[in-house]
């Protein structure tokens, strides 16, 4: 498996969140540590779209028990999760 | 008796008992009473006419409970608002209801300008945090400040002594619940104190709820099912555990186990998500005694899977509508296997008839439209007498749901009147096709609807979510449908998606699915 550049992944994830959940409105700022749940950026169906994005773009499989905020609820958490999963 | 009297009676009996828990915070019945009474005193100071409307825009939280009960104590009408709606929709509801008070969670402050629009009717805006409001409005006040500044409030004993019996429940308007509506503007369902009190008592009775019961609430309180969870548990002296994180099912399942609740409530998508995207089946759930399901028909296949995953819990399948406060029927768990697919029998005090087009009752076994009679039938739609007249006839609520009754009096929903697809001259039930699709082991969720078609009249479309790791194509699934259904019922188009769009209540937004395929179509894709 090709090594994932985490800096690139961070930018890709931000772009995906803005496009998929903020309708391209970049003025809705959120930081790397902002909780998607806390800011109301993503709902339950959005989480499934996010998981699909991760699996398709980073070659990882998100297990049911890994669908938790610690892995998915902010850009920082997502990058760290990808780092652990992709080895 | 009024809705807030449930709180007063329970607080008088169980002052120190926990009423609600939310992420490590908790409030006792005594504290909830005093906080609500203090806020009610502030609302009374406004000198509003009884029956004036107070809108509430809060996520499920302890603050929601304080605001909610305060409204009733102040003789006002509660208008709980859907927190997922766009500001323009909320503005419509504020204007439509003529709200004089707006209680809004601080997290919505950025949209406040758009939500309020040109509103000049509001006399008071209350929040849990400091929020800016337009100069044309009085400065917003904070709940905590109001509670701390409150003067003398009636003692619990005195308040409880003035509660009248449930049989004398007030016929006055208590709350307006806006339905998400599948066509046109949302409609404000007017529910009286009698509607809510009678239905709460009936639900407590058939569920057998006691003061040691508790429920994990993931459904919004502004949704009539969520509202019922709250009122039933306050009425019996139990408690609610609030958890707004079902977007992460594992987190909520952890909460379910840690909080040791005796009950859990969901809509069909809750259980489809839990069955396909969580470790539900592996959990012990030692304290959980019962699960309730309402908010739309759940396919028998999903019910079976849920029963397999939770063999130790009683599963109550229930049916209702916002317009019926909401509970109409329930299926006793001991008859679930035998009557799988049924929505059960009428709740205590409610009558159900199944009518043909002329309004006569149909014979046993024949399909007709469900009509509901009883103290739970709404007063009508707010400011919409014509829409009210379409659904309330001679005091009976005509539900728009088609059903048949078996010889034991158990009712089986056949489909929504508006979800009958007229394909190539045949009347086809969307529900029947969804159930067939769900029987394929690879499928997690399915939504079926009709799309205008020049040749067929309506073409049957299906949108499907597969379980993780499964593969399927349109032809294979159509072949599966063909093996179980008449040829004219096989969906012409099957699309696979990662997730179905849903309302905050968890119900599938078929209108959005339909608009994605046929943007100019205005026909209803199903009532929510």
Asked if residues B350 and B376 have their Cβ atoms less than 8 Å apart, the reply is yes
- In angstroms, the Cα distances linking B66 to B63, B131, B352 are 5, 19, 35
Burial class (CB in 10 A: 0-12, 13-18, 19+), B109: middle
Which of helix, strand or coil describes residue B381? strand
Do residue A64 and residue B246 have CB atoms under 8 angstroms apart? no
| Residue-wise DSSP of B177-196 | EE---SSSS--EEEEEHHHH
The tokens for B224 are: 């009539």
Do residue B248 and residue A67 have CB atoms under 8 angstroms apart? yes
- In angstroms, the Cα distances linking B439 to B274, B278, B310 are 17, 20, 19
Distance CA B15, CA B31 (A): 8
User: What is the gyration radius of the CA atoms in chain B, in angstroms?
Assistant: 23
- Dihedral sign for Cα B398, B401, B405, B409, please: negative
Of B247, B250, B277, the CB nearest to A42: B247
Burial class (CB in 10 A: 0-12, 13-18, 19+), B455: exposed
Helices (H), B294-335: 300-309
- Helix (H) or strand (E) run with residue B45 in it: helix B29-45
* In chain B, ranges of CATH 3.30.300.30 domains: 421-517
B274-295 burial string, b = 16+ CB within 10 Å, else e?
A: bbbbbbbeebebeebebbbbbb
Name the residue among B95, B108, B527 with its Cα closest to residue B324: B527
CATH number for the domain formed by residue range(s) B194-416: 3.40.50.12780
A27 touches chain B (CB under 8 A): no
**What is the number of residues in chain B?**
528
Asked if residues B448 and B485 have their Cβ atoms less than 8 Å apart, the reply is no
Do residue A49 and residue B498 have CB atoms under 8 angstroms apart? yes
Of B245, B279, B499, the CB nearest to A45: B499
What DSSP designation does B137 have? S
Asked if residues B79 and B95 have their Cβ atoms less than 8 Å apart, the reply is no
* In chain B, ranges of CATH 3.40.50.980 domains: 4-192
The more confidently predicted of residues B67 and A18 is B67
Cis ω before B326 (30° cut-off from 0): yes
A72 touches chain B (CB under 8 A): yes
Name the residue among B173, B176, B150 with its Cα closest to residue B50: B173
- In angstroms, the Cα distances linking B372 to A22, B63, B360 are 42, 34, 14
pLDDT of residue A26: 65
| Dmax (CA) of chain B | 72
Among chain B residues, the shortest Cα distance to A64 is held by B278
**B239-242/B263-266 β-pairing:** unpaired
- Asked: is B4-192 a CATH 3.40.50.300 domain? The reply is no
Among chain A residues, the shortest Cα distance to B276 is held by A64
CB pairs under 8 A between A and B: 46
Instruction: Enumerate residue ranges in chain B where pLDDT < 50.
Output: 182, 521-528
A29 touches chain B (CB under 8 A): no
Residue B289's φ and ψ, nearest 5 degrees, are -100, -30
Asked if residues B156 and B11 have their Cβ atoms less than 8 Å apart, the reply is yes
Q: Which residues of A touch B251 (CB under 8 A)?
A: 68-69
* Domain A6-86: which CATH number of 3.40.50.2000, 1.10.1200.10, 3.40.50.150, 3.40.50.1980: 1.10.1200.10
Domain map (residue ranges) of chain A: 6-86
| Residue-wise DSSP of B231-290 | HHHHHHT-EEEE---TTSHHHHHHHHHHHT-SEEEE-HHHHHHHHHHS-GGG---TT--E
The tokens for B314 are: 């009683």
Do residue A67 and residue B250 have CB atoms under 8 angstroms apart? yes
Give the minimum alpha-carbon distance from A20 to chain B in angstroms, rounded to a whole number: 13
Q: Which residues of B touch A73 (CB under 8 A)?
A: 248
pLDDT of residue B522: 40
Do residue B247 and residue A43 have CB atoms under 8 angstroms apart? yes
**Contacting residues for B60 by C-beta, under 8 A, at least 6 apart:** B22, B217, B220, B221, B226, B242, B244
Asked if residues B322 and B224 have their Cβ atoms less than 8 Å apart, the reply is yes
Q: Which residues of B touch A48 (CB under 8 A)?
A: 277, 498-499
Predicted complex ipTM exceeds 0.90: no
Which of helix, strand or coil describes residue B462? strand
**Contacting residues for B52 by C-beta, under 8 A, at least 6 apart:** B76, B77, B98, B100, B101
pTM of the model: 0.85
Residues of chain B by 3-state class (helix, strand, coil), percent to 5: 35, 25, 40
What DSSP designation does B487 have? G
B356-384 burial string, b = 16+ CB within 10 Å, else e?
A: eeeeeebeeeebbbbbbbbbbbbbbbbeb
Helices (H), B282-321: 300-309
The tokens for B409 are: 């009096």
Give the minimum alpha-carbon distance from B246 to chain A in angstroms, rounded to a whole number: 7
Among chain A residues, the shortest Cα distance to B270 is held by A44
The tokens for B28 are: 């006792």
Distance CA B326, CA B225 (A): 7
What DSSP designation does B409 have? S
Quote the Cα angle for B243-B244-B245, to 5°.
Answer: 95
Among chain B residues, the shortest Cα distance to A47 is held by B247
* Domain B421-517: which CATH number of 3.40.50.720, 3.30.300.30, 3.40.50.150, 3.90.1010.10: 3.30.300.30
**B345-346/B327-331 β-pairing:** antiparallel
- Testing the interface with B: which of A34, A41, A45, A62 to mutate, by most B Cβ within 10 A? A45
Residue B527's φ and ψ, nearest 5 degrees, are -80, 145
Q: Which residues of B touch A57 (CB under 8 A)?
A: none
pLDDT of residue B101: 98
Distance CA B79, CA B99 (A): 8
Asked if residues B100 and B122 have their Cβ atoms less than 8 Å apart, the reply is yes
- Dihedral sign for Cα B120, B123, B128, B131, please: positive
Of B278, B498, B502, the CB nearest to A52: B498
In chain A, DSSP assigns E strands to: none
A33 touches chain B (CB under 8 A): no
Asked if residues B19 and B29 have their Cβ atoms less than 8 Å apart, the reply is yes
């Amino acid at each position: 498996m090709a090594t994932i550049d985490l800096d690139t992944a961070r930018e890709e994830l931000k772009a995906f969140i803005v496009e998929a959940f903020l309708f391209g409105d970049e003025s809705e700022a959120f930081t790397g540590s902002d909780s998607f749940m806390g800011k109301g950026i993503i709902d339950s169906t959005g989480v499934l779209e996010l998981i699909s994005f991760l699996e398709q773009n980073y070659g990882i499989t998100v297990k049911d028990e890994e669908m938790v905020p610690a892995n998915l609820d902010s850009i920082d958490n997502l990058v760290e999760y990808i780092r652990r999963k992709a080895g | 008796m009024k809705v807030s009297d449930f709180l007063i009676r329970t607080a008088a009996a169980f002052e120190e008992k926990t009423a609600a828990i939310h992420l490590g915070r908790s409030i006792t019945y005594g504290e909830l009473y005093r906080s609500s009474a203090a806020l009610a005193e502030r609302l009374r100071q406004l000198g509003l006419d009884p029956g004036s409307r107070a809108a509430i825009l809060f996520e499920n939280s302890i603050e929601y409970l304080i605001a909610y009960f305060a409204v009733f104590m102040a003789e006002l009408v509660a208008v709980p608002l859907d927190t997922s709606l766009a500001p323009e929709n909320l503005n419509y509801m504020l204007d439509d209801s003529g709200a004089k008070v707006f209680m809004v969670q601080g997290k919505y402050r950025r949209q406040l300008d758009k939500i309020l629009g040109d509103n000049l009717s509001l006399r008071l805006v209350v929040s849990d945090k400091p929020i800016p409001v337009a100069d044309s409005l009085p400065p917003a006040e904070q709940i905590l400040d109001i509670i701390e500044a409150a003067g003398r409030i009636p003692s619990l004993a005195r308040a409880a002594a003035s509660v009248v019996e449930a049989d004398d429940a007030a016929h006055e308007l208590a709350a307006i619940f806006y339905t998400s509506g599948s066509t046109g503007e949302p409609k404000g369902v007017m529910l009286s104190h009698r509607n809510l009190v009678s239905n709460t008592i009936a639900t407590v009775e058939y569920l057998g709820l006691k003061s040691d019961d508790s429920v994990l609430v993931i459904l919004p309180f502004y949704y009539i099912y969520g509202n019922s969870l709250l009122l039933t548990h306050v009425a019996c002296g139990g408690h609610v555990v609030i958890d707004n994180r079902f977007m992460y099912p594992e987190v909520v399942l952890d909460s379910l186990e840690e909080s040791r609740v005796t009950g859990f409530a969901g809509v069909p998508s809750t259980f489809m998500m839990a069955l396909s995207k969580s470790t539900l089946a592996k959990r012990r759930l030692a304290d959980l005694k019962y699960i309730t399901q309402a908010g739309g028909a759940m396919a028998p296949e999903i019910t079976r899977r849920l029963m397999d995953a939770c063999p130790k819990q009683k599963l109550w399948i229930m049916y209702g509508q916002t317009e019926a406060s909401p509970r109409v029927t329930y299926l006793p768990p001991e008859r679930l296997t035998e009557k799988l697919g049924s929505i059960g029998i009428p709740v205590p005090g409610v009558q159900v008839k199944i009518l043909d087009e002329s309004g006569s009752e149909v014979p046993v076994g024949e399909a007709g439209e469900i009509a509901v009679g009883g103290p739970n039938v709404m007063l009508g739609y707010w400011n919409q007498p014509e829409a009210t007249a379409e659904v309330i006839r001679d005091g009976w609520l005509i539900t728009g749901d088609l059903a048949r009754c078996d010889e034991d009096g158990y009712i089986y929903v056949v489909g929504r009147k508006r979800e009958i697809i007229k394909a190539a001259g045949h009347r086809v039930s969307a529900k029947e096709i969804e159930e067939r699709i769900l029987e394929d082991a690879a499928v997690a969720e399915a939504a079926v609807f009709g799309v205008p078609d020049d040749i067929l009249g309506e073409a049957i479309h299906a949108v499907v979510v597969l379980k993780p790791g499964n593969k399927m194509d349109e032809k294979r699934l159509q072949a599966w449908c063909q093996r179980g259904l008449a040829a004219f019922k096989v969906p012409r188009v099957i699309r696979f998606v990662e997730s179905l769009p849903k309302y905050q209540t968890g119900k599938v937004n078929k209108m959005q699915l339909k608009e994605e395929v046929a943007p100019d179509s205005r026909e209803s894709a199903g009532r929510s």
